[in-house]
């Protein structure tokens, strides 16, 4: 059996991958492992609103009772409520049945220990081994020794009162819009804000078992952004299905993500003397703008691997009180042991009231910088900023998940049949292992699939249906990657090119990373949706080793973006690495390779497509070259704060200039501007 626990519990399609049998086994094994030696242990069980929750709850509880443990059923409550109530009730463990932000067909099972913390990998592995070993040594009591269950109806109210107690002000006069994602926050969030005096307006709070996260909540904030403006609200908050994350919307309808929220709250806590060591804990994928804003406020940022569990680990080590992720998983450690969407929303509302400022004014503390192509040198571990191969993938995933990057992942521009087909690749510079997928549909993060393929001895590059079958078998997340925004782009372009030959989309992007870690290991990864309105099944340079990417830890690495058909004609990423192996500096190698290919194509046929390359050698020296005007990229090094650059080719030499704030603002504004059909 492959590992059944992922980054956040056990997840899969309910009744297919996550079956009643598996839920029973998890309940039985989990109850035994987490309460071994405890007399009549007590385990809390809760769920979100998805229809499969009843089925899985019944099976899970049966497993818990089968080892003689008591099951306390909380009903529909947010995930952070389980963490809090496990401590409050003195329970031995807590279990949440939820697939968080995923579509209704998915569900998940997540355990908390008696302190309300997510389980370590070691404990999860112990639970799985208990199942695999056939429950050897696990008791099967009979008669009076069997476990009982009872329903705790007041648990949700106790959690609500706890959440309210985290702020020191009433919210009277504040007009608040809530998007409850038809999930676990649909009652408690509304009641909490109303009882604190806020004027509450609500959307997506009528769960029917099948509409959780459906075009709503924190993963689809557009409806809330429009609603806040239309109803003239002061602020809006969007939760996900289990309400462990929260994003905000300002009075102008702008999305305020987790990085902004963290910066706002860190400043507020620092001013009160409540921010331990003036330190904010974030992940390596926090926006570059957060670093700049925190530095200006004399707030230190401590960076971890991607994942709220790693944020929490670092917070606990030194007692830091605030940490989180761009996605809206925010941990206020003085109040809860996990991301808490309701507490986050209340904390932001508190700052608005106390400062007597609009959310847009508060959010102006930070400017979000574009992160398109990243070249990173890892610093000294004492500085706690590092990227390993896993973090390279997570960095790519963050871009894949952002719907406004039109040529990458979710929201990527479709092919001529209005389907989103994705290409991605991963390469390990130590082993030269490569994994790639091409023309894959309906999977959320193709770069993760590519990395998994790199571990195989053969069958490292899969396309179309073959890639999809592999991804499904390995349990990767299914997702419809075609957004409403992409559909508008498509329909507008159809009108523009009607009766014309389809051309590559202007502004085409690929996300590509070259990374060097503290041990000298180098990795590279890419992801793209390719050319706008491309032919079905078209494959560009991004998943092709030597063209879209190449890395060798003994030399360096490179990654490409532009017109793939032309980039492949020069095997240009490999060529740059070859030139670096001959002793050439990355900048000189990039310029030579780009200029030569550009010249060769123009000489042979009169024109060349877009060619842009980033590169880094094993010393951490970097270079960028392009044949277009204003190519943008970001650099983070040991001795340099993350900076966004623009580069242009002038007489064969590439000139890099730091992007102005005006350019950065315009970049994000144009990316996220509302669209209308022409």
Model confidence band, residue 641 (pLDDT cutoffs 50, 70, 90): low
Residue 387 has a pLDDT of 36
Tokens 């040198």 sit on residue: 377
Write out the H or E segment, with its range, that includes residue 643: strand 640-650
Average pLDDT, stretch 360-387? 58
**Contact yes or no for 598/605 (Cβ under 8 A):** no
Higher pLDDT: 637 or 361? It is 361
Q: Is the pLDDT of residue 503 over 60?
A: no
Q: Which residues, 6 or more positions from 611, have their beta carbon under 8 angstroms from its beta carbon?
A: 560, 562, 563, 566, 567, 572, 594, 597, 598, 626, 627, 628
pLDDT at 155 over 90: yes
Please name which of 327, 472, 480, 468 lies closest in space to residue 412, comparing C-alpha atoms: 480
**φ and ψ at residue 214, rounded to 5 degrees:** -80, 100
* pLDDT for the residue numbered 305: 79
pLDDT in tens, 360-372: 999 999 987 754 4
Q: Residues 255-284: what's their mean pLDDT?
A: 96
DSSP state of 641: E
What are the residue ranges of helices labelled H in 133-187?
155-164
User: pLDDT (tens digit, 9 = 90+) per residue, 477-498?
Assistant: 888 899 988 898 888 887 776 6
Per-residue pLDDT for 396 more than 80? no
Catalytic residue check, 100:
yes
Determine the average pLDDT of the residues in 36-65. Answer: 93
- 46 half-sphere exposure, CB direction, 13 A CA radius: 32
Cα–Cα distances in angstroms (integers) from residue 216 to residues 222, 250, 513, in the given order: 8, 17, 31
Confidence band, pLDDT 50/70/90 cuts, at residue 637: low
Most confident of 112-121, 293-302, 490-499: 293-302
CA-CA distance, 104 to 519, in Å (whole number)? Answer: 42
Position 651 scores a pLDDT of: 87
pLDDT at 308: 84
pLDDT in tens, 524-555: 999 999 988 889 999 999 999 999 999 999 99
Q: What does the pLDDT average to over 389-418?
A: 78
Region 272-296 average pLDDT: 91
CA distances from 190 to 48, 109, 345 (A): 16, 26, 11
pLDDT tens readout for residues 83-101: 999 999 999 999 999 999 8
Q: Where are the alpha helices (DSSP H) in 98-144?
A: 121-132
The pLDDT assigned to 501 comes to: 56
Return the higher-pLDDT residue of 540 and 374.
540
pTM above 0.75, yes or no: no
Q: 69 CB contacts (<8 Å, ≥6 apart)?
A: 31, 35, 40, 41, 42, 43, 92, 147
Ordered DSSP codes for 471-519:
HHHTTPPB-----HHHHHHHHHHHHHHTTS---PPTT---EEEEEE-TT
What pLDDT, on the 0 to 100 scale, is given for residue 638?
A: 58
**pLDDT mean over 9-33:** 94
Give the pLDDT band of residue 500 (cuts 50, 70, 90): low
pLDDT class of 446 with cuts at 50, 70, 90: very high
Query: How far is 484 from 399, CA to CA, in rounded Å?
Result: 18
| 630: nearest Cα among 649, 606, 603 | 649
The sign of the torsion formed by the CA atoms of 314, 316, 318, 324 equals positive
More confident residue, 657 or 61: 61
Summary mean pLDDT of the chain:
90
Q: Which helix (H) or strand (E) holds 616?
A: strand 611-617
Q: Spot the catalytic one: 52, 100, 218, 527.
A: 100
Nearest in space to 418 (alpha carbons), one of 324, 310, 341, 532? 532
Confidence of residue 586 (pLDDT cuts 50, 70, 90): very high
**Percentage, residues of the chain above pLDDT 70:** 93
CB distance 351 to 265 below 8 Å? yes
In a 10 Å sphere around its CB, with 0-12 CB exposed, 13-18 middle and 19+ buried, how is residue 320 labelled?
buried
> Distance between CA atoms of 80 and 163, rounded to whole angstroms?
10
pLDDT tens-place string over residues 552-576:
999 999 999 999 999 999 999 999 9
CA gap 211, 98 in Å, rounded = 14
Beta carbons within 10 angstroms of residue 385's beta carbon = 19
- For 461, how many CA atoms within 13 A lie in the half-sphere containing its CB? 12
DSSP collapsed to 3 states, 277-342: HHEEEEECCCCHHHHHHHHHCCCEEEEECCCHHHHHHHHHHHCCCEEECCCCCEEECCCCCCCCHH
Distances (CA, A) of 664 to 286, 289, 367, 372: 16, 10, 8, 12
- Residue 615 Cα distances to 258, 583, 608, angstroms: 31, 14, 21
655 against 399, higher pLDDT: 655
């Amino acid at each position: 059996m492959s590992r059944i626990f992922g980054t956040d519990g056990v997840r899969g399609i309910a009744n297919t991958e996550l079956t009643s049998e598996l839920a029973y086994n998890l309940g039985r094994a989990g109850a035994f492992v987490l309460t071994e030696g405890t007399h009549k242990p007590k385990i809390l069980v809760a769920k979100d609103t998805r229809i499969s929750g009843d089925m899985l709850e019944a099976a899970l509880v049966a497993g818990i009772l089968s080892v003689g443990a008591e099951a306390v059923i909380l009903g529909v409550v947010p995930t952070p409520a389980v963490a809090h109530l496990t401590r409050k009730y003195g329970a031995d463990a807590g279990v949440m049945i939820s697939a968080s932000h995923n579509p209704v067909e998915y569900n998940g099972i997540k355990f908390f220990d008696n302190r309300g913390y997510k389980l370590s990998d070691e404990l999860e592995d112990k639970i799985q081994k208990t199942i695999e070993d056939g429950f050897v040594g696990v008791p099967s009591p009979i008669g009076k020794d069997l476990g009982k269950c009872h329903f705790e109806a007041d648990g949700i109210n106790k959690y609500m009162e706890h959440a309210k107690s985290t702020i020191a002000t009433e919210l009277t006069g504040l007009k608040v819009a809530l998007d409850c994602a038809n999930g676990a926050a649909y009652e408690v969030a509304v009641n909490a804000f109303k009882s604190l005096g806020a004027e509450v307006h609500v959307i997506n709070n009528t769960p029917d078992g099948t509409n959780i996260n459906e075009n709503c909540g924190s993963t689809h904030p557009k409806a809330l952004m429009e609603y806040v403006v239309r109803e003239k609200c002061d602020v809006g908050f969007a939760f996900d299905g289990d309400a462990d994350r929260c994003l905000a919307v300002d009075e102008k309808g702008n999305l305020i993500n987790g990085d902004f929220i963290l910066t706002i709250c860190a400043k507020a806590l620092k001013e009160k003397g409540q921010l331990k060591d003036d330190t904010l804990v974030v992940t390596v994928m926090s926006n570059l703008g957060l670093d700049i804003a925190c530095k200006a406020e004399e707030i230190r940022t401590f960076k971890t691997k991607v994942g709220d569990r790693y944020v929490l680990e670092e917070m606990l080590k030194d007692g830091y009180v605030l940490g989180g992720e761009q996605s809206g998983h925010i941990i206020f450690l003085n109040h809860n042991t996990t991301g808490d969407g309701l507490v986050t929303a209340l904390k932001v509302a508190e700052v608005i009231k106390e400062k007597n400022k609009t959310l847009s004014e508060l959010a102006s503390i930070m400017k979000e910088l574009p992160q398109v192509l990243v070249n990173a040198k890892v610093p000294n571990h004492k500085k706690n900023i590092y990227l390993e191969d896993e973090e390279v993938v997570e960095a790519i995933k963050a871009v894949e998940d952002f719907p406004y990057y039109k040529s990458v992942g979710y929201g990527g521009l479709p092919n001529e049949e209005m389907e989103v087909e994705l290409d991605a690749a991963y390469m390990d510079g130590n082993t030269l292992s490569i994994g790639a997928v091409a023309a894959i549909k309906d999977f959320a993060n193709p770069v993760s699939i590519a990395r998994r393929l790199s571990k195989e001895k053969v069958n490292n590059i899969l396309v179309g249906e073959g890639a999809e079958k592999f991804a499904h078998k390995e349990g990767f997340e299914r997702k419809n990657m075609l957004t409403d925004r992409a559909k508008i782009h498509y329909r507008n372009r159809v009108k523009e090119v009607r009766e014309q030959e389809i051309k590559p989309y202007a502004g085409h992007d690929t996300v590509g990373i070259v990374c060097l870690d503290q041990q000298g290991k180098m990795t590279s990864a890419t992801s793209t949706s390719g050319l706008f309105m491309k032919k079905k099944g078209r494959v560009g340079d991004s998943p092709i080793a030597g063209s879209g990417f190449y890395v060798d830890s003994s030399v360096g690495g490179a990654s490409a973006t532009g017109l793939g058909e032309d980039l492949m004609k020069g095997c240009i990423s490999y060529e740059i690495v070859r030139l670096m192996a001959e002793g050439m500096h990355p900048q000189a190698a990039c310029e030579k390779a780009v200029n030569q290919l550009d010249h060769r194509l123009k000489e042979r046929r009169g024109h060349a497509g877009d060619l842009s390359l980033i590169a880094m050698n094993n010393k951490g020296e970097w270079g960028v070259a392009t044949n277009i005007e204003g190519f943008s990229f970001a650099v983070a090094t040991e001795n340099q704060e993350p900076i966004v650059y623009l580069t242009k080719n002038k007489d064969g030499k590439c000139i890099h200039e730091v992007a102005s704030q005006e350019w950065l603002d315009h970049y994000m504004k144009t990316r996220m501007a509302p669209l209308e059909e022409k």
